[in-house]
Amino acid sequence: MVESGTSASPETGHPGGDRPRLDRQRILEAGAVFIEEHGVRQLSMRRLGAELDVEAMSLYRYVPSREDLLDGIVESVVDELYSDPEVYVEPRYGWQDYLLRLAHGLRRLAVKHPQVFPLIATRPAEAPWVRPPLRSLRWVESFLRAMTQAGFSNEQAVEAYRAFSSFLIGNLLLEVAALGADIGPVEDPDPSPSRQADLTDYPLLQELQDLLSEDRSKQEFDAALDALLDRLDSQLT
Amino acid sequence: MVESGTSASPETGHPGGDRPRLDRQRILEAGAVFIEEHGVRQLSMRRLGAELDVEAMSLYRYVPSREDLLDGIVESVVDELYSDPEVYVEPRYGWQDYLLRLAHGLRRLAVKHPQVFPLIATRPAEAPWVRPPLRSLRWVESFLRAMTQAGFSNEQAVEAYRAFSSFLIGNLLLEVAALGADIGPVEDPDPSPSRQADLTDYPLLQELQDLLSEDRSKQEFDAALDALLDRLDSQLT
DNA sequence: ACCTGAACACCGTTCAAGT
DNA sequence: ACCTGAACACCGTTCAAGT
């Protein structure tokens, strides 16, 4: 990238290519944007540097490694949940209300960041029992408090936490996979006929193809969530 | 799976390091073993070649690219399901029996290949509606046939298929993550104190840490599966 | 204090060449 | 027919050097 010649104002101001100075948060956000645009596989230190008008090596002043960069991006995206006004309210309307808000907040997050969500779901967490997508001690504590205060035993609260995590991962991972289809690697669209499945040997698939292609994620999410809440409720007394 | 042929095998003389000749299936199996031993991140064409006593470039005669290699490994591991005698029986004992067998077969697969399973769960499939971990048209057809023949409507069968996939992904992905903890990248054990979470601000987590660390995956899997079957059953009639 | 250039070890992949 | 050597473009990362 040809640049510089920006000797006039060191702080700010150029309309075309100004460079607000590097800092960790700016790098993480640029990383999240880059992943959403090009996929994780395409994210290299060099390319992210270029995006920020900087050499790759400069990033190492703020981020110890590419791995740590990815962890940082995940953390920074998940932290958006704290500023979701629909989620972050005092849990005084009962545990079902709390779980509903939390689940829908995480679904909004997943749909907003379909390319980052698989990382949220699959990166190793701080401790083995901190299960995605609730990747922080603070949320786990909050979850368990809501449940125990509602009358669940310690064992039941922990079991509910696990069931809730599994429910979210399964539903949201498959939803974003169907969305962007790029849940792991591979970037090219590839609309070649080879990619179009040959259904001649599968009469039922042929018949149901329209149904199978229909997107009912929202309804299914709500239905499964409802069933989960019922199941948990039945454990209470 | 050692192949036939190679009768006198004149060129495989070395006692310690004989080289049974390259073929696609051998490469895929070696890849699966390598991933289970060292993690996906460590798998490079060069290293896999070395494992097979061959230069990396030789692999390209059987596998178009590293991406395709990973897809091939996933396919070859999932294909083990066909030779699981507990799973692959005629579905004449009812749909619940069928779903139970299938679910437990996939759980065995996940536990046997904890490092490969995340790939099974996250690699883009043949068609967008072919949801992991049932990554083949054949299994989807089989699933839908079992359900419709049991009296589910087309819509209900498709919905059941989606609910079943989500259930499996959520439960099994989190189970293998807790197992190997390496659900994505990063290889080092790192038992440093920095990795040990500081729980001073989270009294409930402190109190429940033993419960949280307990492994109850099998029971929870069975309980959630049971609840799912009940939910589906209630839609019948 | 912050960024860069050059360098190292390692990748995936191509292709002409060996046997 | 099957494998290899050399080469290319690209990585992550280190470190001494620039400003």
- Classify burial at B229, counting beta carbons within 10 Å of its beta carbon; exposed 0-12, middle 13-18, buried 19 or more: middle
Q: Which chain B residue is nearest to residue A194, measuring alpha carbons? A: B126
> Which residues in chain B touch residue A166, judged by CB atoms under 8 angstroms apart?
167, 170-171, 174, 220, 224
Q: Best mutation site among A68, A145, A166 for testing chain B: the one with the most B CBs within 10 Å?
A: A166
Question: What does the pLDDT profile of chain B (237 residues) look like in tens digits?
Answer: 333 333 333 333 334 456 678 999 999 999 999 999 999 999 999 999 999 999 999 999 999 999 999 999 999 999 999 999 999 776 568 999 999 999 999 999 999 999 999 999 999 999 999 999 999 999 999 999 999 999 999 999 999 999 999 999 999 999 999 987 544 444 444 444 445 678 999 999 999 999 999 999 999 999 999 999 999 999 998
Burial A141-159 (b: 16+ CB within 10 A, else e): bbbbbbbbebebebebbbb
Q: State whether A173 and B119 contact (CB < 8 Å).
A: no
A-B Cβ pairs (cutoff 8 Å, strict):
177
Please state, in angstroms and rounded to a whole number, the distance separating the CA atoms of residues A105 and A147: 18
Cβ-count burial B151-160 (b if 16+ within 10 Å, e if not): ebebebbbbb
Nucleotide at minimal C1' distance from the B68 CA: C12
pTM: 0.90
* B141–A204 C-beta distance less than 8 A: yes
**Strand D proximal to B61 Cβ, under 7 A:** yes
Peptide bond into B203 cis (omega under 30): no
CB contact under 8 A, B169 and A168: no
**Are A233 and A96 spatial neighbours (Cβ–Cβ below 8 Å)?**
yes
All domains in chain B, ordered by first residue: 24-63 (1.10.10.60), 82-183+217-236 (1.10.357.10)
